[in-house]
Amino acid sequence: MLSLKIAARFLFSSKLQTLLIMLGIGVGVSVQVFIGSLIGGLQNDLIDSTIGSQSHITIRSQMRDERLSVSPSFLSEVEDISSEIRAVSSVLEGPGTIDNDVGDSIFIRGFEFERANDIYRFDEALISGDIPEHDGVLIGKDLAEMLAVEIGEQVRIVLPQQGFDTFTFEISGIFDLGVASVNETWFVMRLETAQTLFDTNQVSAVEMQVNDVFATTEIAERLMEAYPDLRHTEWQASNQELLSGLEGQSISSLMIQVFVMISLVLGIASVLAITVLQKSRQLGILKAMGITDFKASTIFLAQGFILGVFGALIGVGLGLFLNVAFTQFAVNPDGTPVVSLQIDPAFVMLSALVAITASLLASIIPAKRSAKLSIIEVIRNG
Amino acid sequence: MAEYALKLTGIEKTYGTTIKTKVLHGIDVSFKRHSFNAIIGQSGSGKSTLMNIMGTLDLPTSGVLEILGTKTTDMNKKQLAVLRNETIGFIFQHHYLLPEFTALENILMPAKIKHGRITQADRAYALELIEFVGLTQVKDNPANQMSGGQQQRTAIARALINKPEIILADEPTGALDSESTDKVYQLLRDINTTYQTTFLVITHDRKVAEKADRIIELKDGRIELDVVTKSS
């Protein structure tokens, strides 16, 4: 307590210097908080736009092209395997071509829309039209452009697997799922429609989404325990670039933060080293009065602590302000922020703690110097 | 209880490693408890060095120092710090107050170092001392906003707060005018009578020294003269 009081007095006696160091720490912490939240938000946006409308784990039959028989209760059974599983939906899929001169390839997918919407959000992705209630189909905006068709018009397709029979569907909606290959090839219909089309009552796969996209492996293992006859694929298998991109971003963000912290430590250490010189007279007096070397050194640790705490508070305030300002000023033409920032209280706390620890670390050298300071030198030169 | 407040046996001090300068040559001297002693000598005679060694601020090159019968030779830095805090009060020429604290806080600092906090008794005693040294009016002034004489009296009160057995004063009036000098010496004598504190005062002022019970003169690191003026 004595050290803390003396430290506080020392800091208070040179207000400008103290304020400058605190601001220095504050700016460092605010950069930390801002960059961290920015990268966090950026990654979330990226994950969301890339795999937000994809299956995270897909289970299929071990045999290629063999379909699964799915009882009505199966999907809820899968859902119960882990509370992390957010959505489960079955799909029946198969290849086809448009019956035109070019013979554009399409990928026919039959869904139960009530369930599939939890994964693909067709309801939000529709640009025009509605989810089909009967035998209509949804096509992507790119396919619609290629075929120059609109809602209500008919499209004829050929199924190579069904003896090149042709079938005609009415377009009930056009969607934009944000991925060109999907927008160009998907030919989406109700599961029942697809089952009639392919003349089956089975499905091709069961798709699901989970809450934490980086926890798929563990969930997949549990699925495989429950259904050893099935095989699974995780989203990572088809998204290697995304993964390495995310990793690169995380590393660069970490690097920035580490260097900010290093410069912070150096700054605090050098300023505190100077204060040891400034206060050497006072330290000499205190030591003559019987303060132990250890106590004397804790004065500087306490200074580091006080500077760290107040610097961190300033930094968190400034960082949050920057975040808010960023979402206010860096906006898309439609008014939504360019990057939706994600402020994670745990991360903000961590940044503050790191700054306090860094300040304490930085005060170790001056603390050691103060312990070594000889009284006699101060008194002789005083 | 030991008869002597301080007992020095064969104290030598050499400075430097390559070029050695011997400052003290085998000092043997003892100071009785409750006595008021003056140490005089020209500058460079070694009196400040002797004082620093007696106050455990500096270590002798050889020789034994006993404080209240306890040898300090084998004590570590921490034990010495505690010993200084509890048994010795220092008064320096340049008062050496902490400018960041008020007069009262400066006076209480040794007590705070001793107990870790300020007790009611400490505070009461500090106020008594402030009254005694005549600083009641300025007790809440920051240390650097007082006159030289007030600062020196603050330093004296601070030296007394832990009721030390010994007070070491190095030219306590060196920076003061003659009127303040007389006041401060009268104060030190009063303290000596009232609190039975042993005093060792370094001075170059013979007039001041003559008021002491005993005068020791140092010359070139040796005791040149040892006169008892009053038996105590």
pLDDT of A227 above 80: yes
Work out how many domains chain B is built from and give that number: 1
Q: Do A291 and B90 touch (CB under 8 A)?
A: no
Q: Does residue B212 fall inside a structural domain?
A: yes
Mean per-residue pLDDT for B99-106?
A: 92
Backbone phi, psi, residue A105, to 5°: -75, 145
Q: Tokens 């059974």 label which residue?
A: A77
Closest to A261 measured CA to CA, from A37, A15, A33 = A33
CA distance A125 to A102: 27
Mean per-residue pLDDT for A349-359?
A: 87
Nearest CA-CA distance, residue A365 and chain B, Å:
20
b/e A147-162 (16+ beta carbons within 10 angstroms → b): bebeeeeebebbbeee
Which amino acid belongs to residue B146?
M
Residue A140 has a pLDDT of 92
Q: Does residue B157 fall inside a structural domain?
A: yes
pLDDT of B200 above 90: yes
ipTM: 0.84
Q: Calculate what percentage of chain A has a pLDDT beyond 90.
A: 16
Among A2, A13, A295, the residue with its CB nearest the CB of B100 is: A13
pLDDT of A382 above 60: no
Stated length of chain A: 382
| Contact present, A164 and A97 (Cβ < 8 Å) | no
A94's tokens = 């198969």
Mean per-residue pLDDT for A357-377?
A: 84
β-strand pairing of B62-67 with B4-15: antiparallel
Collapse the DSSP code of A330 into the 3-class scheme (helix H, G, I; strand E, B; otherwise coil) and give the result: coil
pLDDT in tens, A79-110: 888 888 888 999 999 999 988 888 889 999 99
CA distance B219 to B208: 19
Give the lowest-confidence range in A3-12, A275-284, B22-31, B44-53. A275-284
Among B94, B100, B113, the residue with its CB nearest the CB of A289 is: B113
Which amino acid belongs to residue A380?
R
pTM above 0.95, yes or no: no
CA distance A85 to A79: 6
Longest dimension (CA), chain B: 53
Q: Does residue B163 fall inside a structural domain?
A: yes
Which amino acid belongs to residue B161?
I
Residues of chain B with C-beta less than 8 angstroms from the C-beta of A291: 81, 85, 113
Among A285, A287, A290, the residue with its CB nearest the CB of B82 is: A290
What average pLDDT does chain B have?
A: 87
| Per-residue confidence band for A226, with pLDDT thresholds at 50, 70 and 90 | confident
A82's tokens = 């882990």
Cα B23–B211–B229 angle (5° rounding)? 80
CATH number at residue B183: 3.40.50.300
Mean per-residue pLDDT for A210-235?
A: 86
| Contact present, A138 and A218 (Cβ < 8 Å) | no
Spacing of C-alpha B148 from chain mean position? 18
Residues in CB range of A332: below 8 A, 6 or more apart: A338
B142's tokens = 């920051």
Among A10, A289, A382, the residue with its CB nearest the CB of B100 is: A10
Mean per-residue pLDDT for B203-209?
A: 80
b/e B41-80 (16+ beta carbons within 10 angstroms → b): beeebbbbbbbbbbbbbbebeebebbbbeeebeebeeeeb
CA atoms within 13 A on the CB side of A24: 22
β-strand pairing of B21-32 with B70-71: unpaired
Closest to A6 measured CA to CA, from A274, A357, A289, A295 = A295
Among chain A residues, the shortest Cα distance to B161 is held by A289
List the single best residue of A282, A299, A379 to mutate versus B (max B Cβ within 10 A): A379
Spacing of C-alpha A292 from chain mean position? 50
Distances (CA, A) of A262 to A36, A258, B207: 16, 6, 62
**Cα-Cα-Cα-Cα dihedral sign, residues A155, A156, A161, A165:** positive
CA distance A213 to A220: 12
Q: Which residues of B touch A (CB under 8 A)?
A: 48, 52, 55, 57-58, 77-78, 81-86, 90, 92, 94, 96-101, 109-110, 112-114, 116-117, 158
Among B52, B83, B96, the residue with its CB nearest the CB of A285 is: B96
Backbone phi, psi, residue B99, to 5°: -65, -20
Backbone phi, psi, residue B227, to 5°: -120, 130
pLDDT in tens, A125-181: 888 888 888 889 999 999 999 888 888 889 999 888 777 788 899 999 999 988 888
Strand order in the sheet with B166-170: B88-91, B166-170, B198-202, B36-40, B214-219, B222-228
| Per-residue confidence band for A374, with pLDDT thresholds at 50, 70 and 90 | confident
Q: Do A282 and B98 touch (CB under 8 A)?
A: yes
CA distance B69 to B33: 11
Residue B187's domain spans which residues?
35-48+82-228
Among B77, B109, B116, the residue with its CB nearest the CB of A289 is: B109
Closest to B101 measured CA to CA, from B147, B148, B154, B149 = B154
Q: Do B57 and A13 touch (CB under 8 A)?
A: no
| Per-residue confidence band for A313, with pLDDT thresholds at 50, 70 and 90 | very high
Q: How many CB pairs under 8 A join A and B?
A: 70
Mean per-residue pLDDT for A107-116?
A: 90
| Contact present, A208 and A78 (Cβ < 8 Å) | yes
Among A1, A2, A379, the residue with its CB nearest the CB of B57 is: A379
List the single best residue of A6, A278, A283, A289 to mutate versus B (max B Cβ within 10 A): A289
| Per-residue confidence band for B95, with pLDDT thresholds at 50, 70 and 90 | low
Q: Where are the domains of chain A?
A: 2-50+242-381, 63-228
Among chain A residues, the shortest Cα distance to B83 is held by A290
Residues of chain A with C-beta less than 8 angstroms from the C-beta of B78: 292-294
Q: Specify the DSSP element, H or E, that contains A230.
A: strand A230-234
Q: Do A292 and B98 touch (CB under 8 A)?
A: no
Q: Does residue B72 fall inside a structural domain?
A: no
Residues of chain A with C-beta less than 8 angstroms from the C-beta of B115: none
Q: Do A291 and B81 touch (CB under 8 A)?
A: yes
pLDDT of B40 above 70: yes
Residue A315 has a pLDDT of 92
Residue A92 has a pLDDT of 92
- Give B227's strand partners: B215
Residue B175 has a pLDDT of 67
Mean per-residue pLDDT for B150-177?
A: 85
Nearest CA-CA distance, residue A369 and chain B, Å:
16
Give the lowest-confidence range in A5-9, B83-87, B94-98, B122-126. B94-98
CA atoms within 13 A on the CB side of A98: 20
**Cα-Cα-Cα-Cα dihedral sign, residues A234, A236, A237, A242:** positive
Count other Cβ atoms within 10 Å, centred on residue B128. 12
